[in-house]
DNA sequence: GTGAAAGCGCTAACAT
DNA sequence: ATGTTAGCGCTTTCAC
């Protein structure tokens, strides 16, 4: 049923070796022979068996992306970037979701079919989980490039693509301060997430630079989740002196926060100010104008694949057990953030009475 | 460097076959031997080469999902459902994005490494594209199960998971009629998308059942895209007699429509009514309360994988060239839709003056 | 320019 | 219970 290289060879009256040569455009084949073989391949609709090719030349062009939250549009964009570029370069990407669950992450990392996989992208669940880190190090030293996506690991030298979280947060909070806010709340992400930590640092720096005291009660954990950020907001609002502005550390925190605010009669940009880290385009389309820290997310995906590709190809000339790239300089890229003003950083602007929206 | 089954066999003083037996827990192995081999495997940290396994037993446990719009949260949810269930069943899924581009779809379908792939999920770009359909038929008759996801093909018998689009649309439009609307606009999806067609049919049926004339000018194409739906809305609003209510056929149409409305001073549920096919949770969190046709999207992903799994396993006992399941009954599942009322189906409700939101 | 044959790492008859 | 061996489909020296 399934055609093999032998069938083609027979029909073309040549040896399998020759067929292989024309398929891979390697080695010398007479023009006439080549044509004949190509014709047969075309008319028989023959496609070489990739598994056999992989086994024979030890490469699969398979990559994997381990992602904590498949449904989060942020990762949808990253994924878009990675797969698009990967397809261009002849690679395919396998997707695994951990749902942010460490056990699941360990499980996936452990059962990874490392022999048929050439590289790993990962947005780790926890920035200091030794089991996962150890697993990644094992991959890396086994010659499988690892590219961290968005979520960095402290004191490590893995390649990766990140964004300038601290600066983004700094800009956002500074913007709020410029608007006259002194009591600024922040809804943070998981304690063990480097992006979350950096954003908190940005918040502190901005306060510090303006000589505004850092107040512990204005910092609440939303764990990068909607439900918990709803609670966090509730907590902030119920303080003796509630903040007049809130900075939310990711898109889901923003939604949770907004949910609390709108369902309790607060109008953002009027009764309370809000700046979101990461854009939520749906809100903008829906007329909810939120000032946000924007970053080129799809491009982060592209860059992740670029880094991966360099790693994958820089080995070329070396012998199998000389892991040349391992010692080379680490490839870590950072994208810049940019604040997009839409009015939610203000408080009770006069326009809110006059204009229809 | 890389260990093989021979290395393990040697260290354990047995034959490779025995090692293979303990790895696969097949055949008889003495308890003592088994233990010895297992220990060696553990201490050497040996992992069998999956490619070689695949080549040898002709199975890879690799599935692929071909999706038109990776960034659309709808597909994010489907993907979540598929991968989660797939992981449970020991399968991995490769993701390919077509961006709705037919050429890209053909390309992907053509270069699919069918020998290392066991099944294909696809949300086709166009419901009557012969090239793609032919390719899918070839896969199916080649023994590779094909499961259509959300987007059906007319006059075909591919397996698939869909939703009750017509009924969902019918309910939505009926709801608008109940609210007193007579002039109802609809923003449709691509002409060659079965879900889009069915939703349009639902719209027509609802009008018909209430003896409201179908008026061509109230039907505009938004192509399931934001920008085009923005234009479509503009077109509706600029009619001599603009509709008092709009039904949008998917999440992106809704966003485009909403964008036009909010940026032109219309308040939904007050100045104009709107019902959306598919939920947009972000809006709800943001206080934009939109009545929508809801459906269990993640569950559609689960069900897609369930169907796939049945196909994959029902072959078990048959010989290679007896494609038994090909003739078996087709597996097509439909999920029910449910309308969620939030007020946007109304017009100028008195509450809009009194309540803060 | 082309063919023969030895692997790639594993599995599964078939022997013993 | 365990070993021998012939593939799985392709690539690639090494001859001719």
pLDDT at A351 over 70: no
Average the pLDDT over B322-336 and give the result: 73
**Is A57 inside a domain boundary?**
no
Please give the tally of structural domains in chain B: 3
Strand D contacts in A 22-51 (CB under 7 A): 23-24, 26-27, 48-49
Q: What is the mean pLDDT of chain B?
A: 91
CB contact under 8 A, A2 and B115: yes
* Residue closest to sugar C1' of C12 by CA: B17
Q: What pLDDT shows up at residue B254?
A: 98
A196 and A287 fall within a common domain: yes
- From B210's Cα to the closest Cα of chain A, the distance in A is 31
Give the domain extent around A38: 5-48
Residue B316 or A335, more confident:
A335
Do A212 and A252 have their domain in common? Answer: yes
Tell me what the mean pLDDT of segment B315-342 comes to. Answer: 72
The answer as to whether A55 is a domain residue is no
Residue B99 falls inside a structural domain:
yes
- Both B326 and B311 in one domain: the answer is yes
In a shared domain, residues A216 and A76: no
CATH of the domain at B142: 3.40.50.2300
A324 and A212 in one domain?
no
- Residues B148 and B206 grouped into a single domain: no
The average pLDDT across A174-202 equals 97
- What would the pLDDT profile of B195-249 be if each residue is shown by its tens digit? 999 999 999 999 999 999 999 999 999 999 999 999 999 999 999 999 999 999 9
Residues A222 and A348 in one domain: yes
| A279 shares its domain with A210 | yes
Cβ within 8 Å, pair B115-A54: no
Q: Which residue of B has its CA nearest to A78?
A: B71
Give residue B287's region: left, alpha or beta (phi > 0; psi -120 to 50): left
- Average of per-residue pLDDT across A161-183: 97
Q: Is the pLDDT of residue B284 over 70?
A: yes
**In this predicted structure, what is the pLDDT of residue B353?**
43
pLDDT over 80 (residue A5): yes
pTM for the complete prediction? 0.90
SS3 category, A189? coil
Identify the bridge partners of residue B301 per DSSP, sorted by sequence position.
none
Same-domain pairing of B288 and B347: yes
Verify that B36 and B67 share a domain, yes or no.
no
Please, are residues B79 and B150 in contact by the beta-carbon 8 Å criterion?
no
Task: Decide if B181 is inside a domain.
Answer: yes
Label residue A198 by pLDDT band (50, 70, 90): very high
Residue B54 domain-assigned? Answer: no
Mean per-residue pLDDT over chain A, rounded = 91
Q: How far is residue A256's CA from residue A57's CA, in Å, rounded to a whole number?
A: 51
Confidence of residue B290 (pLDDT cuts 50, 70, 90): very high
A139 and A113 within one domain? yes
Determine, yes or no, domain membership for A56: no
Whats the size of chain A, residue-wise? Answer: 357
pLDDT, tens digit, 9 for 90 and up, residues B25-47: 888 888 888 999 999 999 888 88
When pLDDT is averaged across residues A169-182 and rounded to a whole number, the result is 97
Residue B55 lies in a domain: no
B-chain residues near A259 (CB < 8 A): 284-286
Residue A353 has pLDDT above 80, yes or no: no
Phi-psi region of A90 (alpha: psi -120 to 50; beta: other; left: phi over 0): left
Residue B151 has pLDDT above 50, yes or no: yes
CA of B293 to C1' of C15 (A): 66
A141 and A250 co-located in one domain: no
Q: B2 versus A201: which is more confidently predicted?
A: A201
For residue A143, what pLDDT band results from cuts at 50, 70 and 90? confident
Give the model's pLDDT for residue A315. Answer: 58
The CATH number covering residue A24 comes to: 1.10.260.40
Question: Which residues, other chains included, contact B249 with Cβ-Cβ below 8 Å and sequence gap of 6+?
Answer: B169, B186, B187, B188, B189, B195, B196, B199, B200, B222, B224, B277
pLDDT bucket at A178, cuts 50 / 70 / 90: very high
């Amino acid at each position: 049923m399934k055609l093999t290289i032998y069938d083609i060879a027979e029909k073309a009256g040549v040896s399998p070796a020759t067929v292989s040569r024309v398929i891979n455009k390697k080695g010398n084949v007479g023009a006439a022979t080549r044509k004949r073989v190509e014709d047969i391949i075309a008319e028989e609709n023959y496609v070489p068996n990739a598994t056999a090719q992989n086994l024979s030349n030890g490469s699969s062009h398979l990559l994997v992306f381990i992602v904590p939250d498949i449904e989060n549009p942020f990762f949808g964009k990253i994924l878009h970037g990675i797969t698009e570029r990967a397809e261009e370069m002849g690679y395919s990407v396998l997707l695994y979701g951990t749902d942010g669950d460490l056990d699941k992450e360990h499980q996936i990392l452990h059962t990874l079919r490392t022999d048929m996989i050439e590289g790993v992208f990962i947005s780790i669940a926890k920035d200091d989980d030794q089991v996962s880190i150890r697993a990644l190090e094992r991959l890396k030293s086994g010659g499988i490039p690892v590219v961290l996506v968005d979520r960095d690991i402290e004191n490590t030298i893995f390649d990766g693509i990140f964004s300038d979280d601290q600066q983004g947060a700094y800009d956002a909070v500074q913007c709020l301060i410029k608007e006259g806010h002194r009591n600024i709340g922040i809804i943070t992400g998981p304690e063990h997430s480097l992006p979350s930590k950096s954003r908190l640092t940005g918040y502190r720096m901005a306060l510090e630079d303006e000589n505004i005291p850092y107040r512990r009660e204005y910092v609440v954990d939303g764990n990068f989740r909607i439900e918990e950020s709803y609670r966090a907001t509730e907590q902030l609002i119920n303080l003796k002196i509630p903040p007049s502005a809130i900075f939310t550390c990711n898109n889901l925190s923003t939604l949770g926060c907004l949910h609390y605010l709108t369902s309790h009669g607060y109008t953002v940009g009027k009764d309370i100010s809000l700046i979101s880290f990461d854009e939520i385009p749906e809100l903008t389309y829906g007329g909810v104008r939120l000032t946000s820290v924007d970053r080129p997310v799809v491009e982060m995906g592209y860059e992740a694949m670029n880094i991966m590709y360099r790693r994958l190809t820089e080995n070329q000339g070396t012998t199998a057990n000389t892991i040349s790239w391992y010692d080379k300089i680490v490839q870590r890229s950072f994208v810049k953030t940019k604040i997009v003003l839409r009015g939610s950083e203000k408080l009770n602007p006069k326009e809110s009475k006059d204009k229809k929206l």
